[in-house]
Structure 1
Amino acid sequence: MNWLNFFDTKITQLRHPFGRGINATISPDEEKLFNASYEAFEKHEIIKAYEYFFKSLENYSGEDSNQNIITKIEDDIMSFEIYQGSAKIVGTVTQESLYAEAIIIKAADAEVALKRYILERNYQLTYAYYFSDKEYIKLKLFHDNATVSPQKIFFPLREIALNADFDKEYIKTEFPHITLQDTQHLVKLDNEELKIKYEFLHKWIDALDAKILTLPTNDNAGMQAFLYLHVLFKVDYLLVPKCEIYQKISKKIQRYFADESNPTEFKNEELQRYIIKLKEMSFEDFSTKFYSAKYTFNPMEKTSHEEISNFISESLIKIRWYKSNRYTQIIPTIYKYISFYILYNYGLNPVTKALMHTLVEIQNPAFFKALDYTPLYDEEKEVFAKKMIISKIEDAITPHLSQYKELESFGDKLNFSSLNELSNSYLLQLKHLNFEEI
């Protein structure tokens, strides 16, 4: 089941969501349920096949189901609900077909610019498409069950879920006066958690400003780039903003790496201007950019370990260059940048994802302590919680040894002499992990 690896999310249980993937564990019977679905489809037992299939996509917090997928069977017709962030997809399955739809906004609220955007989106989608039933604008999907299989239905359902969620957040950002529909399932974050996130946003920006002042006056564009991008990656992964902040950060990062026509200094200035806007945002405005929701599909496609390994190698070469040229003040930031970049840009298998998160916990102890996690590193005393770190590494690897027989826990091979040395040795060990399957 190699194709399924990228949405397998067996990670160490956390009490808060981090990053853009599914922050939950899949069913321990996921593979068994998937195979049962495949066999039922082959026998053309359609309703039973979909029942197994939907159960294989259910995820859990501890032993409790997150109810990210809800099904009901009555008179040989299955009704279902799938939750993906701001979107709720509802549908029915009969012996002959599957129909699913997500309500986006009221049709009467759609202005010309939004209608144009929706028409353009229809050309970009493969399986789903937008329509209006006069009352609402919806994204819908129809699938014939004549030759269906788990693989054939997974990607259409993933498309409608991910795009309904993305477009609802896009509309809330670009057309803030339009009210999104069908959002009763979203839960506002606790005010204390919001205050912690707001406080750390300002701490990180203040630290950024202070670090910029320590850089050499000439030829510092590359170092500034690491500092600005690191803060944006950190905000995205640790704070997990929604709507406008998420949309803006995504655009800024995408534009930064895609723009080859402008010098680094120009691109840095654009990032700086946006970070200033973040700093000036009031707590009341900031608080509206967050919510808690259920997720069923990961947005990132699976990335090969070789690609991740190559990125680590290239990044460590840059660190060696800065070290040999005595620009040591930027090195701690680059190590943190590497961690956040990987988590932001790559579709990680569950082992790599959990290991990268552990490194982020080590590198950002104050934030995790504020959220009431036991810190893995004491910044003042420069002391590591060695046993906990080694245990977390084992927890990330051990459950997957039946699938990846060559994996080895590496906690006892780490260099705990400093945070830089720990980060370096950790990335080197991660780079050389062997994901050969049995």
Structure 2
Amino acid sequence: MNWLNFFDTKITQLRHPFGRGINATIAPDEEKLFNKSYEAFEKHEIIKAYEYFFKSLENYSGEDSNQNIITKLEDGILKFEIYQGSARIIGAVTQKNLYAEAIMIKTADAQVALKRYILERNYQLTYAYYFSDKEYIKLKLYHDNATVSPQKIFFPLREIALNADFDKEYIKTEFPDITLQDTGHLVKLDDGELKIKYGFLHNWIDELDAKILTLPTNDNSGMQSFLYLQLLFKIDYLLVPKCEIYQKISKKVQQYFADETNPTEFKNEELKEYIVKLREMNFEDFSTKFYSSKYTFNPMEKTSHEEISNFITESLMKIRWYKNNRYTQIIPTIYKYISFYILYNYGLNPVSKALVHTLVEIQNPAFFKALDYIPLYDEERGTFAKKAIIAKIEDAITPHLNQYKELEPFGDELNFSSLNELSNSYLLQLKHLNFEEI
């Protein structure tokens, strides 16, 4: 399996997208297609090489293609479409070059502030750049095929797709009066699912407020931080909002961790103010922040397992400190925070992604039950679906044993005596996973 397999972020099939990764599986013959593309590029069979390359990026839901990449060969020219969230990239490949573009907005709609933003973006991008014609402002990419390879074309295409998607959502958030163009591929979420998500948003905020009342009156800023951040990470991963909510959460989280001048109390107040705004959002407004779409590229860079392991170690040390100082009411929140933080901040390989998601399913049974999944934990009785949990762990690990020879399913090693003990033992097992490749 080559480096490209990292962009498969899913193992077991789910009926709903969760988080910012690609909630799909890659083609079973992805590696074979990638190698054929490489060989064709070496022979300078450019069109054939691109056909293999695009097929290697296609992803699936079960056995059905998601049609996230569509190609058509006409008169020696390979035309293609790539879908990435709010963006649709259209282009063409000839023997000599590749051209791709994403339509953003109408040229006549661009305000001065937006034009300034677009000019700044051109300085930030490496391969793609903005331009305008008489009708539209577009993000475009031109690539010479003289010395091309799958690696050389992957990153330019990834850049135009990810940034077209990000900038469309940014424009919709910061310039709400401007109408985005070329959005016919976006599908509105079912009202029933939206109502479930809206209801859980309010339930979670109510639970947060109730939990804060139980905190000690002195020196509780650290515990409040865990509560606020865990909620924002939970909203991002489980509800998967788009546009304004996604943009605002990203900005609040980034500001919290980047701000080294203001005290924690001040930063908590900033998070609290935004959570209050989320509570005040009516359902009609809330429902406009969601849509379903296809995705081709993972927005997060690959993270080493060592970095994830170090984060788990540091986080468990904090839990021990709170436990030793008898602040036990915050410990369940921190365990959930750890899971959501890993999924929010790190580019996980398929095994780690599936395993951390399973822990999230265990820790948040009511939400998954509402979406018609069989819950893995009974909160009232404090009991676990032990066989199902062990099976899900095996499903995540077993398909990759040919690649990672030191991996072993660890379901039988877990402590099922309580949710805290399960979370602790599960994270310890994650920490010690060995991803040494054969």
The TM-score bracket by the shorter chain reads over 0.9
* Equivalent AA in structure 2 for residue 344 of structure 1: Y
C-alpha distance in structure 2 between counterparts of 1:6 and 1:22, whole Å: 11
Kindly state the Cα deviation for residue 5 of structure 1 after the two structures are TM-superposed: 3.9
Mapped partners of 1:374, 1:28: distance in 2: 28
Per the alignment, in what secondary structure is the counterpart of residue 143 of structure 1?
A: strand
Gaps in structure 2 of 5+ consecutive residues: none
Q: Which residue in 2 is equivalent to 1:344?
A: 344
Q: Which residue of 1 aligns with 2:178?
A: 178
Per the alignment, in what secondary structure is the counterpart of residue 424 of structure 2? helix
CA–CA separation in structure 1 for the residues paired with 2:395 and 2:373: 17
Aligned partners of 1:282 and 1:320: how far apart in 2?
40
Match of 1:233 in 2: 233
Name the structure 1 match of 2:78: 78
Structure 1 residue 367: deviation in Å?
A: 0.1
1:63 aligned partner: 63
> Corresponding residue for 2:223?
223
| Matched residue SS, 1:232 | helix
1:357 aligns with 2:351: no
Q: 1:393, CA displacement in angstroms?
A: 0.2
Give, in angstroms, the shift of residue 305 of structure 1: 0.2
d(CA) in 2 for partners of 1:384, 1:115: 55
Counterpart of 1:155? 155
Q: Which runs of 5+ in 1 are unaligned?
A: none
Deviation at 1:340, TM superposition (A): 0.1
CA deviation after TM superposition for structure 1 residue 8, in Å: 2.3
Per-residue CA deviations over 1:38-97 (Å, capped at 9, x if unaligned) read 000000000000000000000000000000000000111100000000000000000000
**1:107, 1:135 within 8 Å by CA — same for their partners in 2?**
yes
Quote the RMSD (CA, aligned, Å).
0.6
> In structure 1, how many angstroms separate the alpha carbons of the residues matched to 2:436 and 2:359?
23
Aligned to 1:385: 385
For the residue of structure 2 that corresponds to 1:40, the secondary structure is: helix
The aligned runs of 1:49-60 (5 Å cut-off) are: 49-60=49-60
Q: What displacement does 1:4 show?
A: 2.1
- Decide whether the 8 Å contact of 2:76 with 2:94 is kept in 1: yes
Could you tell me how far apart the structure 1 residues matched to 2:266 and 2:4 are? 41
Match for 1:279: what amino acid? Answer: R
Q: 2:67, 2:24 → 1: CA distance?
A: 12
Could you state the TM-score of these two structures normalised by the residue count of structure 2? Answer: 0.99
- 1:140 maps to what in 2? 140
Report matched runs for 1:320-335 at 5 Å: 320-335=320-335
Following TM superposition, the consecutive aligned residue runs of length 4 or more in structure 1 with deviations greater than 6 angstroms are: none
Match of 2:122 in 1: 122
Q: Deviations over 1:368-396 (max 9, x none)?
A: 00000000000000000000000000000
Show the counterpart of 1:271. 271
Residue aligned with 1:90, SS: strand
Q: Following the alignment from structure 2 to structure 1, what is the Cα–Cα distance between the partners of residues 378 and 92?
A: 53
1:189 — aligned with what? 189
User: Percent of aligned pairs with the same residue?
Assistant: 89
Partner of 1:250: 250
Contact 1:103 1:139 in 2 (8 A): yes
Residues matched between the structures, number: 438
Give the conservation status (yes or no) of the 8 Å contact 1:6–1:301: no
Task: Give 3-state SS (helix, strand or coil) of 2:268's partner.
Answer: helix
CA deviation map 1:4-46 (0-9, x unaligned): 2431234110000000000000000000000000000000000
Where does residue 113 of structure 2 map in the other structure? 113
SS in 2 for 1:88: strand
Whether the 8 Å contact between 1:5 and 1:302 is mirrored in structure 2 is: no
CA distance in 1, matches of 2:62, 2:9: 13
- In 1: Cα distance, 2:204 partner to 2:112 partner: 40
Q: Does 1:33 align with 2:61?
A: no
Please give the alpha-carbon distance, in whole angstroms, between the structure 2 residues aligned to 1:381 and 1:137. 57
The residue number in structure 2 matching 1:413 is: 413
**Over residues 182-216 of structure 1, what are the superposed CA-to-partner deviations in whole Å (9 max), with x where a residue is unaligned?**
00000000000000000000000000000000000
Q: Is the 1:92–1:99 contact (alpha carbons within 8 Å) kept by the matching residues of 2?
A: yes
* TM-score, normalised relative to structure 1: 0.99
CA contact (8 A) 2:10 2:353 kept: no
Inter-partner Cα distance in structure 2 for 1:112 and 1:387:
59
Letter of the 2:419 partner, please give it.
Answer: L
| In structure 1, C-alpha distance between the alignment counterparts of 2:375 and 2:38, rounded to whole Å | 44
Shift of 1:2: 5.1
In structure 1, distance between residues paired with 2:134 and 2:119: 16
Match of 1:290 in 2: 290
